[in-house]
Each structure stands twice: as C-alpha cells, then as structure tokens.
Amino acid sequence: MFDVCRKCAISLAPTSWSDPRTLVAMAGCYLLVTALAASASADQASAREWLNRMSAAFEQQDYDGTFSYFDGRDLTSLRVVHKVVDGRQRERLVHLNGAPREILRDGEDVACIFLPGDRLVELAQSIPSGPFARAFVRDYDRMAVGYDVVMGNEGRIAGRRAVQLLIAPTDEHRYGYRLWLDLETALLLRSELVNQKGAALEILQFATLSLGADVADSALEPEQNPGMVVSHLKLANADALRHEETGKSWRASWLPVGFSMASADVRRAPGSLAAVNTLVYSDGLAAFSIFVEAMPDRGATAAQSIAGATVAVSELIATNHGRQLVTVVGEIPANTARKIARSVKLNGGR
C-alpha cells in the first residue's frame, strides 16, 4: 500500500499539487479509492460486455466439447455439440456416464434417445427455446441490482486461454459466480457457483473443446445402439390448471432486493388431484420456486435439505384457507429461502 501511495504521489507531482509529501500521499490514497470506484465502473462495463459476448457465442459458434458438472454431490460428464447448419441450430447432448442417453435438437425439434426401461425425466416442460448451452440470462439490467460483475485474472481451462469474470452478490441473499470465458470466442469454459465465503458449491468445466471447422457434421449424428428408443418431445403444458379453478393467488410478501416474479401457475400435485400453486421468482441470475399446497391433515412437517447450491425449505403456515405447506426451492441461501417461505400470503385474500 505504501508503494501504491508513493506511485500516486509521483504521478501527482507534475500536477498543481506541491504540498508537503505526507499530504500528497494522503491525497493520493484518497484518489486511489476514488479511482477504484472509477475503474470499477469501467471494469464492470467491460465485464458485462463479456457476458453479452458469451450469450451470443453459445448460439453462433460451432463447438464440440466434453464437460463435467459437479452439483455438490455427484459428478456427471456430458458431451455437447453445437453447429449452425443452413441457418438452423443443431445440437447434440450426450450423457457420458451411466445409461446411454442423447438429446438431439434440430431447430425446434427435440428428440431424446435412450434405452427402453430407462426412466427419463419428463422434459416436456424443460426444453428451452434456445440452445442447450445458452448461458445465463440476457436480463443484465435487472441483474445489476443484485450483483457486481468485474474482470478477474486470466487463466487457462481445457488447454485454452481464458478470461475470468467475477459475479459478486451485493447482499447475503444470493450466491456469486466465478466464470472463465474463452479469450478467443467468449464461450464459457468453467463456471463456479460460490457462496458468500467464496467456496464453490457447483462447478461446471469443459475438459476438451473443438471449434469452428473442426466440428464435423457427423458429430451431430447419434450413436447407433441396438434397441434404443427415440422419443420426440413437444412443448406441452398439459398439467397446468386454470387459475380460475382455485381462484387463489399466493405471493411472497418479502423478497430480497432485485427479485421479481417470472411466472405463476397452478398444477396438480404429484400423485394426487390436489392443486399446487407454483411461483417462480428471479433476480436475473438466481431463481427460486415457491410451491403452496393445502395440507389439511398433519401430513407434512417443516423440512430443509441442501445439496450444492440448491436448497429446499418447507414451512407450514396457518391461513384463513387452512394450513398450507409452503416449499421454497432454489439456488439461494437457506436462511433466505426460509424467510421467503414464512412471508407467503394470499394476495388480496378472499
């Protein structure tokens, strides 16, 4: 720090300042902090530009890579191939661990290929309209409330030079990210979801990555395994009930700064005819879901479970409409999730 101040003093010397040395140093130190703020905003602009480039890169680049994903419990490896063919985005996501499974996309068509007897997660709700690897949100303006985005140090991932972006939360109600983007293409090479203390809760990292002309058309063809079943998926929303059927709308009366509602619907509870109110909130980066289900008997208990960055907190709340089980699930700290769960109220009442 002393060196820093001396540097300030030296660089200030040619200017109008000609005060005693100590004062110059103090002024320099003051200016250092001022400059931190100034350089911080320049840095943030540059970092956000990298985020924009990253989003575009996932759609525009041709790439073929393998990545591993650690969710706090399990390590999974997948291969992802993305290629723009005749203006259409074609993709292939291959599970490299366990039972063979592939997900193919050609424009808006999505097909899952797997062995019979393999139980597939119901993907009907989860096929995004963009590519599999569309990273993060485009809602950077909203993100600005909850996060600082700055450049970190340069690094090397999957044998490629990478720039590091730090997405630091501005309060204790959300997690941060350390991202490494390919210096040349801005593709995401490594992502760490980190808690307030900087410890990684979830890690995604590419091990290999081929780009551009190195990505052959044949890389998009699924592996031929005897007996594999192909299931074509459509975007369906069959189990959503009409809002009028229940007439109730639940809302969180307390939310961390920057979070707002992304969607709300009512659907059938798993394995029963009971209606579950489902609310999704996002701050532009993190998201959590709130599930509200009537719990008239003494069936459920308050519970909490955590894995990696994902938390599920259940609270029983007494309302004019009887006892409700409120469950908050998301990539947010447990205390925040509990506070949100306890704040859930009937909107406007009835």
Partner 1 sequence: MNTPVNADMTDKLKESLSAVIDGEADEFELRRVLDEAARDEELTETWHRYHLISTIMRGEEVAGAGLRGSVLAAMSDEEEAQASEGLSLVSTSPSSTKEAANDTRRSRAWGPMLGTAVAAAVAMAVVVFVDPGSQSELPAVADAPALELVTPPSTSSPAAILASDTRAADAQRTQAYLIHHVQQTAMNRGRVVSFAKVATYEQGAGEQPVNDSPNESAQQRSQR
Candidates 134-142, 207-215, 216-224, 250-258: pick the segment binding partner 1 (CB under 8 A). Answer: 134-142
Shortest distance (Å) from residue 244 CB to partner 1: 22
Site for partner 1 contains 157 (CB under 8 A)? no
One residue of 17, 19, 23, 35 binding partner 1 per CB under 8 A: 35
Candidates 34-42, 155-163, 209-217, 249-257: pick the segment binding partner 1 (CB under 8 A). Answer: 34-42
Candidates 25-33, 211-219, 245-253, 339-347: pick the segment binding partner 1 (CB under 8 A). Answer: 25-33
Site for partner 1 contains 335 (CB under 8 A)? no
One residue of 87, 116, 247, 348 binding partner 1 per CB under 8 A: 116
* Residue with Cβ nearer partner 1 (187 or 219): 187
Site for partner 1 contains 37 (CB under 8 A)? yes
Secondary structure, 3-state, the chain: CHHHHHHHHHHHCCCCCCCCHHHHHHHHHHHHHHHHHHHHHHHHHHHHHHHHHHHHHHHHCCEEEEEEEECCCCEEEEEEEEEEECCEEEEEEEECCCCCEEEEEECCEEEEEECCCCCCCCCCCCCCCCCCCCCCCCCHHHHHHHEEEEEEEEEEECCEEEEEEEEEECCCCCCEEEEEEECCCCCEEEEEEECCCCCEEEEEEEEEEEEHHHCCHHHHCCCCCCCCEEEEECCCCCCEECHHHHCCCEEECCCCCCCEEEEEEEEECCCCCCEEEEEEEECCCCEEEEEEEECCCCCCCCEEEEECCEEEEEEEEEECCEEEEEEEEECCCHHHHHHHHHCEEECCCC
* Residue with Cβ nearer partner 1 (84 or 350): 84
Candidates 207-215, 253-261, 310-318, 342-350: pick the segment binding partner 1 (CB under 8 A). Answer: 310-318
One residue of 20, 87, 98, 247 binding partner 1 per CB under 8 A: 98
Shortest distance (Å) from residue 350 CB to partner 1: 25
Kindly tell me the sign of the dihedral angle through the C-alpha atoms of 134, 140, 142, 144.
positive
Site for partner 1 contains 61 (CB under 8 A)? no
Cα–Cα distance list, 5 to 9, 14, 15, 285 (Å): 6, 15, 16, 38
* Residue with Cβ nearer partner 1 (327 or 336): 327
Within positions 248 to 307, which residues make up the interface with partner 1, using CB under 8 A?
A: 262-263, 269-271, 278, 280, 282, 287-289, 291, 293, 298-307
Site for partner 1 contains 45 (CB under 8 A)? no
Site for partner 1 contains 346 (CB under 8 A)? no
* Residue with Cβ nearer partner 1 (329 or 348): 329
Within positions 158 to 217, which residues make up the interface with partner 1, using CB under 8 A?
A: 164, 166-170, 176, 178, 188, 191-202, 204
Shortest distance (Å) from residue 196 CB to partner 1: 8
